[in-house]
Structure 1
Amino acid sequence: MKFTPRSESTRQQIIESTAELFNKKGYLGTSISDLEKATGMTRGSIYGNFENKEAVALAVFNYNWDLKRELLAEATRNKAEFKDKLYAHVLAHHPSTKTPFTPGGCPLQNTTMEADDTFEALREKAANGLLIWTKDLTNIIEEGIKAKAFKADTDVLGTSLHIVSLIEGAALYARSTRDMKYVKRLFDTARDVINAICEK
């Protein structure tokens, strides 16, 4: 029998109230008591709108990822130059920019690290999000090649993967070492990668 939530508005309230919680503590680290505290609701109210904690976690990931993707799209929307559209993806992740992603860091990185061995459905969602982000970058590069802004022989996928890896690597160094010299070096490298594919 298909589960039907009692209230779509309450369901959305639960998602928004627990978005930061799941992104910071993860699926395993978040208890039903945490959910009750974050939402101000009873267990019955929560499970009247979600089949179980797993369902809450999956819906929250979708919310956090959609927020991140929309913020990245917004950062590129008004950029006329294709290289600036790529730069926007990089700069949106720099700590000094203070882009209002869900607190706790990148939901893709956080979710993948935890769900890899514990929650296959959540891992698949994170993987799909990562591939969508990579595709967003490849679309920008392909359009830039057509407009002759980027070199015709550019390795489109390789460049996209390189940029994503540098951004996520910078996030990892920032959170683990808290030493901005590594973060700066990785962001400078990302800029160099973008400059290298630009037509002179």
Structure 2
Amino acid sequence: MPEKKTTARARKDKREGKSASTQAGEYVREEIEHVREGKHGARSAKQAIAIGLSKARRAGVKAKPSKTASKATKKKAAQDSRAATRKRSSGTTAKKSATRKRASTKKSTAKKSATTKSTAKKSTARSRATTAALKRDGRSAASKRALSAQGHKAAAKRSASSRSASAKKAARTKGAAGRKTAAKKAARTRARKAS
């Protein structure tokens, strides 16, 4: 389950008109923090990012997999999106059944039991085994060096026009204060490289 503050940040990003990948980035950041804290490990930076994206999709973020993604990745993304849809619909069904319960009809009781069956609890043994397997993995996947290398690899696969379009969109949605901060950071980087 993602933390409340992560979900709140993702919702704020959505309100500000930021892309689905930016919203999903909040969950990825949380996952990387978890690896650094030692809550669990990851075999690579890619795995930590994948876990974060899965969390985001299950929380309702409409983050589509890339066009070049494997069939397995696309299948998992669709599965996570369906899980989010089911979660939302079961929540509304539960509210409706609560309203009908007040009217105390037999029909509403039958619907409530059907809703309970559809949202079956995940196997405890499977959940424990998954956590144990992740804890056995290392922590270096969330290091600055590993994440930087992953970022460079991902960017290298994209075209210059694609990277440029992303940068322009980022500048549009950043806001005046954000642009000012980014400009100062860029100036510091140029000064450091010049010396």
Q: For CA contacts below 8 A with separation 6 or more, give which structure has more relative contact order.
A: 2
Q: Which has the larger radius of gyration?
A: 2
Task: State TM-score, norm by structure 1.
Answer: 0.28
Task: State TM-score, norm by structure 2.
Answer: 0.29
